[in-house]
Amino acid sequence: MSLSRLIFLFCMSMCIGHVQCGPVSNHGNEVFGDLYANAINYAQENTETLEEILAFDKAIIEGDIIMPSDRNAVDAVWPAVNGTVSVAFVIHPDLVHMTNSMLKAMDMVSEHTCVSFHKRSTEPDYMLFYPRKGCASYVGYQGGEQKLYIGPTCTFGNVAHEILHALGFHHEHTRLDRNEHIQVIENNIQTGKDSNFDMKDGKTFGIPYDTSSIMHYGGRFFSKNGLPTITLLKHSSEMGQRTHLTPQDMKRIRVLYQCAGTGEMDHKPSKEKEERFLKMFGRLKKLYLRVNGTITL
Ligand SMILES: [Zn+2]
pLDDT in tens, 245-272: 999 999 999 999 999 876 444 444 455 5
Contact at 8 Å (CB) between 202 and 175?
Answer: yes
Q: Give residue 240 CA to ligand 1 midpoint distance, Å.
A: 11
75 domain residue, yes or no: yes
- Per-residue pLDDT of 80-92, as tens digits, reads 988 889 999 999 9
Whether residues 76 and 30 share a domain: the answer is no
Low-confidence ranges of the chain (pLDDT < 70): 1-36, 55-59, 67-75, 236, 262-297
Q: Which of 102, 134, 167 is the last residue of a domain?
A: 167
pLDDT at residue number 63: 79
Q: What is the pTM of this model?
A: 0.75
Whether residues 85 and 156 share a domain: the answer is yes
Q: Which of these is catalytic: 162, 180, 272, 274? A: 162
pLDDT at residue number 72: 44
Q: Give residue 63 CA to ligand 1 midpoint distance, Å.
A: 7
> At 261, which amino acid appears?
G
Q: Give residue 140 CA to ligand 1 midpoint distance, Å.
A: 12
Instruction: Give me the number of domains the chain comprises.
Output: 3
Measure the CA–CA gap between 69 and 217, rounded to whole angstroms.
Answer: 17
Q: Look up 275 and say whether it is catalytic.
A: no
Whether residues 84 and 149 share a domain: the answer is yes
Whether residues 70 and 40 share a domain: the answer is no
Q: Give residue 30 CA to ligand 1 midpoint distance, Å.
A: 34
pLDDT at residue number 249: 96
Whether residues 74 and 163 share a domain: the answer is yes
pLDDT at residue number 47: 79
Question: By residue range, what is the domain housing residue 272?
Answer: 267-297
Q: Give residue 1 CA to ligand 1 midpoint distance, Å.
A: 21
pLDDT at residue number 295: 45
Q: DSSP readout, the chain?
A: --HHHHHHHHHHHHHHTT-S-PPP-TTHHHHHHHHHHHHHHHHHHSGGGHHHHHH--TTEETTTEESP--S-GGGGPPPPBTTBEEEEEEE-GGGGGGHHHHHHHHHHHHHHSSEEEEE-SS-SSEEEEEE-SS-EEESS--SSEEEEEE-TT--HHHHHHHHHHHHT---GGGSTTGGGTEEE-GGGBPTT-GGGG-------TTPPP-TT-TTSPPTTTTBSSSS-SEEESSSS---S--S---HHHHHHHHHHTT-TTTTTT--PPPHHHHHHHHHHHHHHHHHHHHHHS----
CATH code assigned at 143: 3.40.390.10
